[in-house]
Structure 1
Amino acid sequence: MQRLRSCFVRVQTWQQADKYVSAVASDLPKRNGWTIAEYVGDRGPDRVQRLLNRAVWDTDEAMRLVRRFVVDGLATAARRRRRGLVVGALDETGQQKRGTATCGVKRQYMGCAGRVENGINTVHLSYVREGLGHGLIGFRQWIPAEQIDDAKTAQAMGIPGDLLFRTKGQLAIDICTDAYTDGIRFDVMCGDEVYGACTQLREFFEHQQQAYVLRVASTFLLDLGAGVRLTCRQAVEELVDDQRRWEVRSAGTGSKGQRWYGWVQIATANPRHVLLVRRHLRTGELAFHYCYQPDGQPKSMTRLIRAAGLRWPVEEDFEFGKDQFGLDQCQARLHGAIRRHTVLVMAALAVCAVTTAQLHHRTDTQAPPPVTPDQAPPDDPGRIPLTIPETRRLLARLSHRPKPPHHAEHWTDWRRRHQARSRWFHQRTRLNREYALVN
């Protein structure tokens, strides 16, 4: 938070932001304007609402400083270890909403719900250091074109007048451009089918001489030379006719051990492009990765497999961000307020991610893994290294803020009065409605 001081015009606003970060990193079951204000000792939610909606502070600069904190912190932790891959993982996450007043809200497929729901979606970039740690370092909210083009709707939602509609792939370009401008470099970029299908994003990476391993659909067309064009599935069926071509390798270590899959690599007409195919050993399900390897950089199937296995940390960042810090509990409706909530949550996540990474080697006391199926369990299994949720719990105890006298009674009275006022207005509104049976 000391690093973020330069982003705020007034010291009081910076202090309120500091309280906000402490609150989202606390043990609050829900993190919204009311609960955060009560937790930090305010007499009402006005200060929290002002911080997100009207206070003067540079959200973009705050995001840049959070990004540098994550990258520098993980780099410091990596000095004690053998250097692994540095991966940028792109993905989007959603937050379900009710109504139509929130900026970016629309009925769309929500990965968090697994179906089409009313909600908002945001594209994120995660900075991943292999075998060490990861954290979110950039984001852009996806906003439907109809909200941007309608001047009245845009004004009501606080959408800037110069904001242009961008697809999720184009938002990924904007996020990566910010990271490159800030001097951050990645060994490999990863993403799911949303980003693998974006030609503009792939061309952007190739222009930057950035290696990538992007998931693509089975219908993605490959140019195999001599005028031959096949889909990914057709290429596997026609070119991988020998089961011995599949190599069983690990995609990395998970919580239950090595993640074993079958892998095969298919060359294309362009020597810089290859198709990496992953096969589930039990079900036979296939996953396709379109890969770009620039000249002058290592070209090996092992490197691509390692990179493909490092896409999952961004999903873990979403899980921690939502469950531990309230990333999806924002009740703000305006464009700027949603961005500010997201930045402050990412700051709290960054503190815990960097702390966890820097304490990894000191807190990992696990017993050696078993080497035979009938091996007897160790007398002392030890402890896994600190995780981000455990680090958050420890820091929450350290930053617990004392409350003013009669604070709990005040907030009980405040909530009851506010709810009574809301109920009265709802009842009055219903009196003005006409109720009649429909024939």
Structure 2
Amino acid sequence: MERMAKELQQIRSHGLYRSLRTIESAPDARVQIESKSLIMCASNNYLGLANHPRLIDAACNAIQVFGTGSSGSRLITGNTVLHEQLESQLAGLKGTEAAILFNTGFMANLAVLSTLLGEGDVIFSDELNHASIIDGCRLSKANVVVYRHNDMADLEKKLLQRVGHGGNSRILIVTDGVFSMDGDIARLPEIVELADRFEAWVMVDDAHATGVLGAHGGGTADYYGLPSDNVHVQLGTMSKVLGAEGGFVAGSQLLVDYLRNRARPFIFSTALSPSVIASAGTAVELVSKEPERRVRLHEIARRVRDGLSYLGFQVLPGETPIIPVILGDPERAVEFGQRLEANGVFAPAVRPPSVPPGTSRIRLTVMATQSDADIAQILNAFTRVGQELGVIA
């Protein structure tokens, strides 16, 4: 106990202590947080579907028919027609033969990496991949080679070093589609080209890309116009754009059948509740039928990103609704977030270990449901706080 107390004190002294905030309203463009009405600028609810009336109705109807819980794993008592329908919908969204559900995106990454790879195999992983990919790589017991972020020359060099000697090792290149802290997009066509040369599989985690990128909202492969069979494993979540919870993997029927029979996180987990599945299925419909939500989202992202850059903030380049404003020092970032909140904007600081040391930031995210008045208030708040703290002139 004394050791834990000392470690927590050390975390506090470095400005890295974390505590929970209490949200008292539905997830929307504006939320009630501890009795304050704030513009939400830290949510992954990019299209504003998490409190959409149709999703709520679908969840309520599912409870009336199927009850509140699934009662068991998918392979025993937890499989309903709703689960099967959603998997079919997700495969359609991704343009793949099949899909399989997991209880979280984190579990989906653990499942794929620990099931498909093992000792003697090689995983090439982007240095900024999500923690769930990192943990999945560790769990797989494969050899892990980390390449510099989005650096295709470095990936090629390391592929040549590790793969050019032949052998029967399975090779996987894994990357986030949209990187959650930087907001940039993986260079997927070049990754696919390298994978073809070195007879490797490609896995992309589209947690922040599904419903956001692509002409059809299909994610990173859709964004680049890549055939789905060029990307062997497409992973996503229902907890962001789709406004529900859970994760999924889309790919060939063979891949899905194999995961259903071998992936321990699937076999030994109670299935997601019917209400969650029903609401996610309705969200997939809205993603497909209401592309104007995506258009609005990207319009808002451009306006906010351009506005902050014009004001003089250090904004990482990109075109997604994740807009990182780099402040460097964790204490400064925390103070900046607190002052934003005092100005009606909820965008807390992101600090190590979520980001590398020296890159603490405000990870600003925007939503399709935010109004022009919301955008103006966001930019005004950043202007005021940035001037107060000497971040901008």
- Structure 1-normalised TM-score? 0.25
Q: Quick one: higher RCO (CA 8 Å, sep 6+), 1 or 2?
A: 2
Structure of greater Rg: 1
- Structure 2-normalised TM-score? 0.27
Q: Which has the larger share of strand?
A: 1
